[in-house]
């Protein structure tokens, strides 16, 4: 007996699983708690260089974890582009387009709500501005604007004729 093609099956399930795993791994690596060694005041000079060496090692491992997190995000984006799978907007909002780092509020990014209307009187003009600490890139997202629906049947309009004539010509792309 072969596999049943039930209505509950998801096409490209392995790719979705891979993308989900890469995102979770990147989030874990970005949020790994750093081992902070507290420098204890001691009178012996022999222990001070050892503590400083341990701090350097912990800083290098935290940089390595951030780099690994960025690598996971790069692999995630390449897998989704190669298989033509759209990432959800929630995932897209947490990834920096310029440096592929995970945008974590307070740790790797800062968020500010701006309203550039006159005196901030228009509440529908609120924009969430997210700035990446890694590369300095800025992303802007409208706060209360509803998302526009995608057109399922794209129609292209072309104008033919000479300068004085505008002849409308429409065709459907399939």
- Segment 4-34, tens digit of pLDDT: 665 678 888 999 999 999 999 999 998 875 4
Domain count, the chain: 2
Residues 134, 104 share a domain: yes
**pTM assigned to the model:** 0.64
> CA triplet 81, 74, 150: central angle to 5 degrees?
35
The residue range of the domain holding 68 is 12-87
**CATH assignment at residue 131:** 2.20.25
Q: Left, alpha or beta for 161 (phi > 0: left; psi -120 to 50: alpha)?
A: left
Residue 18, pLDDT score: 95
Does 137 share its domain with 79? no
Task: Write the CB contacts of 32 (distance below 8 Å, at least 6 apart in sequence).
Answer: 62, 65
Q: How far apart are CA 111 and CA 128, in angstroms?
A: 7
Residue 129 lies in a domain: yes
pLDDT at 148: 72
Q: Do 66 and 97 belong to one domain?
A: no
75 is a domain residue: yes
> Using CA atoms, how far apart are residues 158 and 165, in angstroms rounded to an integer?
12
**35 domain residue, yes or no:** yes
Q: Is the domain of 40 the same as that of 80? A: yes
Burial class (CB in 10 A: 0-12, 13-18, 19+), 46: exposed
pLDDT, tens digit, 9 for 90 and up, residues 45-80: 455 565 566 666 666 677 788 899 999 999 999 999
Let me know whether 99 and 53 are in one domain: no
Q: Are residues 73 and 23 in the same domain?
A: yes
Instruction: Give me the pLDDT at residue 65, please.
Output: 85
**Is residue 47 in some structural domain?**
yes
Predicted confidence at residue 119, as pLDDT, reads 80
Residue with tokens 């093609």, as numbered in its chain = 5
Structural contact between residues 126 and 113, judged by C-beta atoms closer than 8 angstroms: yes
Do both 50 and 110 map to the same domain?
no
- 123 shares a domain with 78: no
Residue from 75, 102, 81, 78 nearest 90 by CA = 102
108 inside domain: yes
Q: Tell me: the pLDDT tens digits for 86-145?
A: 999 999 999 999 999 999 998 899 999 988 888 877 877 889 999 999 999 999 998 877
Give me 38's structure tokens. 């507290």
């Amino acid at each position: 007996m072969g596999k049943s093609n039930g209505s509950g099956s998801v096409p490209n399930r392995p790719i979705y699983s891979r993308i989900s795993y890469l995102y979770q791994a990147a989030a874990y690596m970005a949020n790994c708690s750093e081992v902070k060694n507290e420098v204890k005041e001691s009178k012996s000079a022999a222990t001070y260089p050892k503590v400083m060496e341990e701090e350097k090692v912990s800083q290098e491992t935290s940089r390595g974890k951030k780099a690994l997190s960025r690598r996971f995000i790069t692999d995630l984006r390449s897998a989704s582009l190669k298989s033509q799978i759209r990432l959800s907007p929630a995932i897209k909002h947490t990834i920096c387009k310029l440096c592929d780092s995970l945008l974590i509020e307070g740790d790797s990014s800062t968020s500010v709500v701006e309203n550039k209307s006159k005196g901030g009187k228009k509440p529908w003009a609120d924009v969430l501005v997210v700035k990446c600490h890694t590369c300095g890139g800025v992303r802007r997202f409208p706060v209360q604007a509803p998302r526009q629906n995608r057109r399922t049947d794209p129609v292209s309009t072309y104008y033919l004729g000479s300068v004085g004539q505008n002849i409308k010509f429409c065709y459907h792309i399939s």
